[in-house]
């Protein structure tokens, strides 16, 4: 019942947009009726048990009083013994009367303890502690995906990746772009690089080391990620940007300086410092899941959160999908400058031509395999899958394919 209500209220705009108020009300009513039926059954059984206990309690008391009266009349008991016995009997019966509540609580505890014990005994397949650390001054963003096979545990029969291999390094392949139709495995590669999952076969190597041997905390400190759906917490803009960044030992001026650098690179600086809309600047509370920010603003805050850490490897999973054309252009310029600085290697997952065309290598994914690979011009010359994707995008966008050197 609570889940039904929570879904309806949290998605109230979608509910109203699709005129689905009555259906949601009916769904809640059914859940409420189910809850009522279970509560009613529980109350009936509780009532029977309580009735049994009360009848036993007071019936026993009446019986004891009748027996004590007869024994007193026969001279076999005195008032002192009767009073003592009655006192102990009342104590015993009062505690026995509480047994109904104890039994109910015991069964509730047994039901809850099953899940608790299951969680306590669960052993995660991916350890969150232990492992080795590499020397920070010698660590680069070198990443190698070597013959990786993968499928999700919820769909063991569906192979998502089938022998994928590629390398990202600080030399001639600093920026790798992944493109292709939805469901072809692009985001799954990002998930494995972040080690949300381990491959069934093959390896993910970071600076020549299998990431399964690296300390997870240290490894994640070397990576910045911007996901397609930006996730913000209900704190301030400042708290969301510095989230996960170790700024201990820095002065307030140094922290603000890094904040300004990151927000300028992500094109978030101007709207954060707009006193009309954000009078508190970095101390503006974004609300639950960033509800007080627009989609583009949330995305830019998420990009700033990734950049402020100055990671060795930057993962952009459709990072500019929520930005308008001007913001995307400015963010892309900032990311280009960041890439050219040589401090990061980048894996870009995107559909837009403007985001991927300048990558050092573009990998065209299709049903879990790399169908084509090369630079933008090389792939266009192949006249294959990539050419069709780009041509369709240019035509839909109203661009002149001749000017873009995209004519057949």
- For 330-361, the pLDDT digits (tens) are 666 666 666 666 667 888 887 777 667 778 88
| pLDDT at 37 (0 to 100) | 92
Q: In whole angstroms, what is the distance from residue 222 CA to residue 245 CA?
A: 11
Q: Are 140 and 117 within one domain?
A: no
164 burial (CB, 10 Å; 0-12 / 13-18 / 19+) is buried
Q: Are 168 and 270 within one domain?
A: yes
Stretches where the chain sits below pLDDT 50 are 398-408
Q: Are 332 and 213 within one domain?
A: yes
Q: Are 107 and 183 within one domain?
A: no
How many domains, the chain?
Answer: 2
| pLDDT at 406 (0 to 100) | 35
The mean predicted confidence, pLDDT, of the chain is 81
Q: Are 109 and 151 within one domain?
A: no
Q: The domain that contains 338 carries what CATH number?
A: 3.40.50.300
Q: In whole angstroms, what is the distance from residue 374 CA to residue 90 CA?
A: 89
| pLDDT at 270 (0 to 100) | 84
| pLDDT at 29 (0 to 100) | 92
Q: Are 101 and 172 within one domain?
A: no
| pLDDT at 30 (0 to 100) | 92
Q: Report pTM.
A: 0.70
| pLDDT at 403 (0 to 100) | 37
Q: Are 315 and 182 within one domain?
A: yes
| pLDDT at 149 (0 to 100) | 92
350 burial (CB, 10 Å; 0-12 / 13-18 / 19+) is buried
Q: In whole angstroms, what is the distance from residue 368 CA to residue 188 CA?
A: 9
Residue range of the domain that includes 362? 136-397
Strand order in the sheet with 201-206: 161-168, 143-150, 201-206, 209-210
Contact by Cβ (8 Å): 151, 200: yes
Residue 216's alpha-carbon distances to 77, 123, 189, 196, in angstroms, are: 78, 16, 17, 10
Q: Are 164 and 70 within one domain?
A: no
| pLDDT at 336 (0 to 100) | 67
CA–chain centroid gap for 116, Å, is 22
pLDDT in tens, 52-74: 877 877 887 788 888 888 888 88
């Amino acid at each position: 019942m609570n889940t039904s209500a929570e879904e309806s209220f949290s998605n109230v705009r979608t509910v109203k947009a699709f005129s689905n108020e009555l259906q949601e009300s009916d769904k809640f009513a059914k859940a409420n009726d189910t809850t009522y039926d279970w509560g009613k059954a529980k109350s009936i059984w509780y009532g029977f048990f309580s009735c049994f206990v009360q009848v036993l309690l007071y019936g026993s008391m009446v019986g004891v009083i009748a027996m004590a009266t007869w024994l007193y009349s026969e001279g076999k008991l005195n008032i002192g013994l009767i009073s003592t016995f009655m006192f102990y009997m009342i104590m015993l019966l009062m505690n026995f009367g509480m047994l109904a509540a104890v039994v109910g609580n015991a069964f509730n505890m047994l039901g809850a303890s099953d899940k608790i014990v299951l969680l306590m005994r669960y052993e995660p397949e991916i350890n969150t502690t232990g492992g080795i650390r590499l020397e920070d001054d010698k660590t680069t963003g070198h990443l190698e995906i070597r013959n990786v096979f993968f499928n999700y545990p919820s769909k063991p029969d569906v192979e998502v990746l089938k022998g994928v291999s590629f390398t990202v390094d600080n030399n001639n392949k600093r920026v790798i772009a992944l493109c292709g139709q939805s469901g072809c495995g692009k985001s799954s590669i990002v998930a494995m690089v972040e080690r949300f999952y381990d491959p069934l076969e093959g390896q993910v190597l970071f600076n020549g080391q299998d990431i399964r041997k690296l300390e997870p905390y240290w490894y994640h400190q070397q990576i910045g990620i911007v996901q397609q759906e930006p996730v913000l917490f209900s704190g301030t803009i400042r708290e969301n940007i510095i989230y996960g960044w170790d700024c201990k030992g820095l002065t307030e001026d140094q922290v603000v300086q890094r904040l300004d650098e990151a927000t300028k690179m992500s094109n978030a600086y101007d709207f954060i410092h707009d006193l009309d809309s954000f009078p508190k600047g970095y101390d503006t509370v974004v609300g639950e899941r960033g509800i007080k920010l627009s989609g583009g603003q949330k995305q830019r805050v998420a990009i700033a959160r990734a950049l402020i850490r100055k990671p060795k490897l930057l993962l952009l999973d459709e990072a500019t999908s929520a930005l308008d054309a001007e913001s995307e252009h400015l963010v892309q310029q900032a990311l280009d400058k960041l890439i050219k600085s040589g401090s990061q290697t980048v894996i870009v997952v995107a559909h837009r031509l403007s985001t991927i065309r300048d990558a050092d290598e573009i990998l065209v994914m299709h049903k879990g395999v790399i169908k084509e690979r090369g630079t933008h011009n090389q792939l266009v010359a192949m006249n294959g899958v990539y050419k069709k994707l780009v041509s369709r995008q240019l035509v839909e966008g109203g661009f002149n394919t001749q000017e873009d050197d995209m004519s057949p």
